[in-house]
Structure 1
């Protein structure tokens, strides 16, 4: 089982901002999270997430999933993960895949889990790719060939097939 700390590290890997003010708020929010000041992190990151920052959306989702700085609510976590995942945020794709695999905040769906984990594994930086692929393969081990093919098909159709 992946520990909360490991997921936190995954969430923060490669974090970068896109505008000076956004980068400052995103960086300050990330620093607050790393210090364990989750209330400050939530205060700084939530407005960035609402403005459309995929990185902030992923972090807000993670904070909802863990109950750090925001109420624990898996449905809210998957809402934010999906927004970021649809923008191509690899970590959010991974976390959304985990949510589908476990049925946390969404109905359990191995095909959807495979889709999102496959996308994460395909687009992850080399240092993260192997871990993402291992989890995708673990999900695949519970699936039929037809389900795997469906998951691959949905991944290949992404982002046009973003509703799944």
Structure 2
């Protein structure tokens, strides 16, 4: 509510406080959103390394939006060394979860295909292998 200013004045600092409490309890949606706050510098100084940390925790639990965001961080080398193989892997994992052809699904597929255009066939094969072998990690508290 504080993040969006719904029912209360918008306060990113307070929103970060609440997201962090939930994120530290293993809540994937809170981890993803805390990563977003660091990514955009909302309520905290912009910090791509912290953004990657929180995106990764959510992505490893199978959160498709966090997987897409983590793919973007690898794609552009924000908070991590640029790595198209990892970008493609995370985009592929996010895309594989879509049940319908939503606009966000289309964007993830576009992201993956754009990364693939910058990769060698061997890199694409490696990214696909990594995506096939990937399994979500449970943080033990559900989502």
TM-score normalised according to structure 1 size = 0.76
2:112 aligned partner: 136
Deviations 1:101-151, CA, capped at 9 Å, x for gaps: 000001100000000001011113521211110110001000111111100
- Structure 2: stretches of 5+ with no match in the other structure: 138-143
Structure 1 residues not aligned, in runs of 5+ = 1-30
SS in 1 for 2:2: helix
**What is the match of residue 59 of structure 2?**
85
Q: Distance in 2 between matches of 1:80 and 1:49?
A: 8
Aligned to 1:32: 2
What is the number of residues matched between the two proteins?
131
Q: Kindly report the root-mean-square deviation, in angstroms, between the aligned alpha carbons of the 2 structures.
A: 1.5
- Matched residue, 1:99: 73
Trace 1:117-128 onto structure 2 (pairs within 5 A): 117-126=91-100, 127=102, 128=104
Q: Which structure is higher in helix share?
A: 1
Segments ≥4 residues shifted beyond 6 Å? none
User: Comparing both chains, which one has the higher relative contact order based on Cα–Cα distances under 8 Å and sequence gaps of 6 or more?
Assistant: 2
Could you report, residue by residue, the CA deviation over 1:43-96 in whole angstroms, capped at 9, with x for unpaired residues?
A: 111110011000000000000011101121100000000000000000100000
Change (3 A) 1:58 1:99: same
